[in-house]
Amino acid sequence: IGTHIALLPPNKHTMKKLILLTVKVVIAVFYLHAQGVTQLNNNNSLQVHIPLSNGKTILTSDIDSTMWSTDANPDNTIQLSPVIRYNETGAAGLLSNKFIFRGSTPVTGSEVYISDGTQGGTVLLKDINPGTGSADPRNFTLLNGFLYFTANDGSHGRELWRTNGTSAGTTLVKDIEPGLGSSFNIAMTNNLFSNGSFLFFAANTTGSGNELWKSDGTDAGTVLLKEINTGNGNADSSNPREFYRY
């Protein structure tokens, strides 16, 4: 769960918390089974996705990708929305006990959604690419009270965004490759990595190619860290990837 869902930096404290939360879910399911309850839904399609600290656990359906929540009581195992679809494992993160994820409906396309595990609290966070166009948010990473991700608003290409869990607080950090061009290639793994102080990532520009960048979450603080491959007048790429914390 920790690796594929929370998308937090792989430090010891984070992993301990996620392991403890996972154990709580397992114990709850085991307890119910011991009481004679063998399943929480009638078609065996719901998969545990991520526990929240309010006692609820987010689940997704293997049948139609709808989202559900449970407190390990069958009567409280509910579908959060009949129309919102969860789009792909890994395209999500946790922020202030809210589950922020890439979801879609026919009306909004693929956008940033948020859930607190209740039906009323599972809503569109921001329609970044307005209308039925899709921002297709990815690479959710936590840093200093914000969840960072990449998205395409239809005007700036795929660039770096962040959210504090509110619509007004969901903003473009920097248009790294100005105009319609994208600094992040959706076909490549441009994982955002946080060391607790900065984000590190690979970004592509016309002048520098795909090189190592860092960001403190501000436009001015989002800069090329080093031109590693200086060939072809700096246009060649070093293609950095797979960041680790030691």
User: How many whole angstroms separate alpha carbon 119 and alpha carbon 68?
Assistant: 9
Confidence band for 37, pLDDT divided at 50, 70 and 90: very low
pLDDT at 238: 73
Instruction: Give the tens place of pLDDT for each residue, 205-220.
Output: 988 888 899 999 999 9
Q: Which one-letter DSSP state was computed for residue 2?
A: I
Confidence band for 149, pLDDT divided at 50, 70 and 90: very high
The enclosing H or E element of 23 equals helix 12-34
Bigger pLDDT: 156 or 237?
Answer: 156
pLDDT at 24: 40
User: How many whole angstroms separate alpha carbon 178 and alpha carbon 174?
Assistant: 9
Instruction: Give the tens place of pLDDT for each residue, 104-148.
Output: 999 999 999 999 999 999 999 999 999 999 999 999 999 999 999
Instruction: Give the tens place of pLDDT for each residue, 159-173.
Output: 999 999 999 999 999
Query: How are the residues of the chain apportioned to helix, strand and coil, as percentages rounded to the nearest 5?
Result: 15, 35, 50
Please check whether residue 69 is in contact with residue 48, taking contact to mean a CB–CB distance below 8 angstroms. Answer: no
* Mean pLDDT, the chain, integer: 82
Confidence band for 229, pLDDT divided at 50, 70 and 90: confident
How much of the chain exceeds pLDDT 70, in percent?
77
pLDDT at 196: 92
**What are the backbone dihedrals phi and psi of residue 56, each rounded to the nearest 5 degrees, phi first?**
-100, 155
pLDDT at 15: 42
Which CA distances in Å does 192 have to 40, 99, 230? 36, 18, 23
Length of the chain: 246
pLDDT at 97: 92
Instruction: Give the tens place of pLDDT for each residue, 41-98.
Output: 665 588 887 889 888 999 999 899 999 999 988 889 999 999 999 997 668 999 999 9
Please check whether residue 115 is in contact with residue 99, taking contact to mean a CB–CB distance below 8 angstroms. Answer: yes
